[in-house]
A and B are shown apart, each in its own frame.
Chain A
Amino acid sequence: MAGRGRGRGRGGGKGMSFSVETLGFGRGEALPAPTLQPPPLFPPLEFKPVALTTGEEMDYILALKQEFRATMKELPYYVKAQEKKKDIERYTDKYQTGQQDSSINWEPDWKRFPKELKIRVRKAAKIQAVVRPSLPKKTISRKADKDVLQTLEELEKKAVEIDAEKDEEDEEEKKEEDGEQEEEEEYDEEDLEEETDYNLNYFDNGEGYGMEDEDDNLDDGPTY
């Protein structure tokens, strides 16, 4: 008769796969009454989170984590999102191109990577046109923040100028932060050739937009 699941759970069962009675709720008895109002989104906590472990060791590991996180963003493995089609020339554009520069300048050891991952070179004159912005790469600016940020920029430029002279003398004496930049530069040098391929490709985006996909679908098609 009540051999199958459906027949069971009479009484307060309410669609549960087991009889509520086994949980000790007598039929209909202790089952919490249907609530008349929605429960609060965040009911008060019965238990608070346990305190975090503190100490030198934890602080050191935290520093390692934060440094690692920051470094990774600066390394060339970081792939920037593709640029949206430009409708207006924005003030910030030049910074973004600057960032893109730094994001593509590593060259896989192609002996160890599938060839199909190579990005094909398009020979165009544009390559020469790549101009590095005069501001340091670090500059991140989303929204120009009125005068304060502008003032800062100017100051920054000045600082860079002063810097430029000094730089030559004590190149070695740099702080850690700059160390990361230096690393990029190393890659720059090393992979100069291929980097420009990437670069070119990137700059092509605007131009070949829409065409790109078809183009790429020709497996091992001719490169030009």
Chain B
Amino acid sequence: MAESANAPVKQEPVDAVNLESRILELCMEFPKGLTDAIIQNSMPQFDAQQRVTAINRLLSTGQVDLLKSSTGLVYKLKDSAAVSKVKGSDHQERLVYQIIEAAENKGIWIRDIRFKSNLLLTQVNKILKNLESKKLIKAVKSVAASKKKVYMLYNLEPDRTVTGGAWYSDQDFESEFVEVLNQQCFKFLEQKAALARDSKADPMAQKNAAYTSSSDVWKYISELGISKVQLSIADIETILDTLIYDGKVERTVVAAAAGGDADAGQLKLYRAISPLIQPTGLMKTPCGVCPVIKDCYEGGAVSPSTCIYMKEWLDY
């Protein structure tokens, strides 16, 4: 209970969804009409405001009706919904609905529904179709695997793991966008490093001057205005990490000065670095890049004497 009072705002949607489904369940238990008092009694953890929001949503999505009765205002399942949900729908459909509900906004894959419900694939398919047509659930394409669909309750906002966050538009990974950001971040860091080098300061100072915090990079990128979506500092750090894997950037973490803009008192600093070596010798030979080298032997169809890559390279 104390939890509900202190609960962070972002948990609300989940609770609200819970509330809505519980209300629907109560409607089934009280087919003659559900009063606000009953809701309040069975779910004391929700306050009046939350109840009102839930009821309003149920009313607006046409899942319940508000009726007058002798005991005052009561809620009843709307006919169509009521039919399918309580009478028409059997135990199986309810089971599937509950499984999907439990998956929350991360969604659940059809195979897992099958495992959990112990139903045949055809049955599950039929039920899912039913529920979808009633707008009780929806299928969302997951970015995790292009052909995988996950199911979740109709009114839920899919989780970032499903949509992919800033890097996805319509479940498609925007790799070009990522590459542009990767290049721009590097350009920024490289300019900074070049300035530091030209400063002729002592070596340690040069190195320090080349470092830039992730928030500075973020500011630079935001000002460039190349992003249609709002990027967070964490998003930029993800991009900067790719530059680390690219071997172009190094990161160091320092304790942030008081009042600094870093979280948890740490400041992530990045700087562009020079490569350790020039391209390795093997790659200066045609054999280094040859796609058929494993088929190559003297006297074979692919052989050093007949190699056309070698010829091209020698003619150049």
Contacts and interface: CB of A to CB of B under 8 A. Distances in A.
Question: Do A and B touch, yes or no (CB under 8 Å, in the complex)?
Answer: yes
Interface residues of B, number: 19
Interface centre among A43, A45, A47 (most CB of B within 10 A): A45
A224 to B, nearest CB: 44
A45 B291 contact: yes
Interface string B35-57: 00000000000000000000000
Interface stretch (B67-75, B171-179, B247-255, B276-284): B276-284
Contacts of B302: 41-42
Interface stretch (A10-18, A49-57, A119-127, A180-188): A49-57
Does more than half of chain A's interface fall in helix, strand or loop, or is it mixed? loop
A49 to B, nearest CB: 5
Contacts of A46: 289, 291
Contact of A48 (B278, B289, B301, B307): B289
Interface string A152-192: 00000000000000000000000000000000000000000
B292 A49 contact: no
A26 interface: yes
B292 A43 contact: yes
Given A26-B145, A26-B147, A42 B308 contact: yes
B289 A47 contact: yes
A37 to B, nearest CB: 15
Contacts of A83: none
A29 interface: yes
Contacts of B278: 53
Nearest to A47: B289
Which of A48, A49, A50, A51 is packed against the most chain B CB atoms within 10 Å?
A49
Interface of B: 145, 147, 278-279, 283-286, 288-292, 301-302, 307-309, 313
Top 7 nearest A-B pairs (CB, nearest first) are A50-B279, A47-B289, A42-B308, A50-B283, A50-B284, A52-B284, A49-B286
8 contacts: A26-B147, A41-B292, A42-B308, A42-B309, A45-B290, A47-B289, A48-B289, A49-B288
